[in-house]
Amino acid sequence: MYALVDCNSFFASCEQIFRPDLRHKPVVVLSNNDGCIVARSREAKALQIPELQPYFKVKELLQRHRVAVFSSNYELYGDISRRVVTILREYAPQLEVYSIDESFLLLDGCQYRWYDYGAEIKNTLWRDVRMPVCVGFAQTKTLAKLANHIAKKSQKLNGVCVLERLDEWRSVFKKLPVDKIWGVGGRLARRLAAQGIHSVHDLQSADSKQIRRHFGVTLERTVAELNGERCLSLESQPQRKKQIYATRSFGQRVDSQQGLEQAVSLYASRAAVKLRKQKSLVKTLLVFIQSSRFDADSYYNSAVYQLPFASNDSGQIIAAAKQLVARLYRPGYAYAKAGVGLIELVDEGPAQLNFFDAYQSEKSAKLMQVIDQLNRSAPQVFFASSGINPSWQMQRRLKSPAYTTRLSEIPRVS
C-alpha cells in the first residue's frame, strides 16, 4: 500500500503556524520580488482570489477583504517541510520526499486499518507542527495521488481517502475530469478528449494498446496504475539532476558590471551547494544576463566556460562566472535578471586519471565540506564577491520572521 501525504496550501499554512490569529482567515503568499500570488489559503480561495495574478492588480481586492499578504519566506518553509518529513519517517519503513509539501509512504507488509492510520498521521502533524494535511491510500502511486485529491475535495472523508476496492469508486471516477490524474496536464487532456476520453473512468477503461499507439508508453503505464498495477516504484533517493540552474530577477535594476558580478557570484555559489549535495562535479558552466524584455532596446546574451578540470569548488566556479560577466556586460543597459547554469555534470566518484591530468585538490574538497557544515541550518559564511546587503537582492517587503531558524526571531509567548 502507498500513502501520499500532502500539506494543504503549504506556504499559506506555514504562515499561519506562528500566527494563530490568522487561522480560518484568508492568507496569500507572493512570489519572488513580491510579484504574483503563488499560494492561497482555503479561505482566500473561497473569496475567488485568483492564483498567479500580479500583486498590484489585485492589491485593492485583497485590502477590501482584509487578506493577510506575505512575501515568500523560504527559510521558514524549508524548515517546516523538514519537520513534517521527520514525523512521517516514523510512520513508514520507506519514504519518498516528492516535493516540499508532498511525500509518498510505502507501507507494504504493514497491517493497519488504513483510514484510522491516515487520521493518526493527520492528527499528529497538526498536533506537533500545526500543519493541516490530507492523506490518500492506494496500491499504486498514481491512485494514491488521486485518493489525496478526493480527500481534499470531499468534506465527508475528513481529509483521508482509501482507494482499495476500485469498483466501488466507479461513480466518483466518472465525475472526475481526466486532468485530475497525476501526469495528465491540460494539453494532454485536450488530446484525450478528441479520442472521447473525458473522465478518470474513461482513461481507466481505455484499451492500453491503443493508448500506447496514440500517446506513448508513459500514459500506458498510467492506465495500468489506475487499474492497480504498479509501474512506478518508490524513489527513496532523489535522482541526480543533469543540469543545475540558479537564476533570479533583481529587486532593483543593475546598471554596473560590479553589481552583475555580485549577483552572478551569489547564484554560482548557490548552484555549487546544490552540486555538492548531489555529489557531482561540473565541467562546463553557462552565464546569462538580460535587461527587461519590455524595454524598447532590450539586451540578452549568454556564454559558456570550460573549467580546466571537473570541480565543485565554489571559489573556482565563482571566478569562472565572473569572467563570463566581464565578457557579456554592455554599458548603457539596466539589467533585470541574471543566471548561472552548471550544464555538464559528472559524478564525484573516483575517475581514471593520467600523469598530466589536473584535478580538484583534497584541500579544496575539505574546505567546501566545512563551508557546507557551517551553513547547514542557516547561512553563516559566504564569499565576499557576492557583496554585503546589495540593493539588487530579491525584494521581500512583507516577509514574516524566520521563526525557527534565527535566534533573534524566535516567537515570544506572553
pLDDT at position 400: 93
| DSSP conformation class of 298 | -
Single pTM value for the model: 0.81
Q: Give yes or no for a contact between 65 and 26, defined as CB atoms under 8 angstroms apart.
A: yes
Q: Which residues contact 276 (CB under 8 A, 6 or more apart)?
A: 312, 368, 372
Bridge partner list, 76:
none
pLDDT at position 295: 85
Each domain of the chain, given as residue ranges in start order, spans 244-386
Q: Quote the CA–CA distance of 272 and 279 in Å, as a whole number.
A: 10
Q: Quote the CA–CA distance of 263 and 340 in Å, as a whole number.
A: 10
Superfamily covering domain 244-386: DNA polymerase, Y-family, little finger domain (3.30.1490.100)
Q: Give yes or no for a contact between 219 and 188, defined as CB atoms under 8 angstroms apart.
A: yes
Q: CA 44, 48, 53, 54: dihedral to nearest 10 degrees?
A: -70
Residue 57 identity (one-letter amino acid): K
Residue 152: phi and psi, rounded to 5, are -70, -35
Picking from 44, 51, 50, 36, the residue whose alpha carbon sits closest to that of residue 65 is 44
The rounded average pLDDT for each run of 10 residues, N- to C-terminus, in the chain (414 residues) is 96 95 95 90 92 90 94 93 96 93 93 95 97 97 97 94 94 95 93 94 93 93 95 80 90 91 94 93 94 88 93 94 95 93 86 58 89 83 85 83 87 80
- 357 φψ region: left (φ > 0), alpha (ψ -120 to 50), beta (else): beta
Picking from 135, 132, 131, the residue whose alpha carbon sits closest to that of residue 115 is 135
145 three-class SS: helix
Q: Quote the CA–CA distance of 369 and 382 in Å, as a whole number.
A: 13
- 9 φψ region: left (φ > 0), alpha (ψ -120 to 50), beta (else): left
| DSSP conformation class of 268 | H
34 three-class SS: helix
Q: Which grid cell sits at 3?
A: 500513502
Q: Which grid cell sits at 224?
A: 495500468
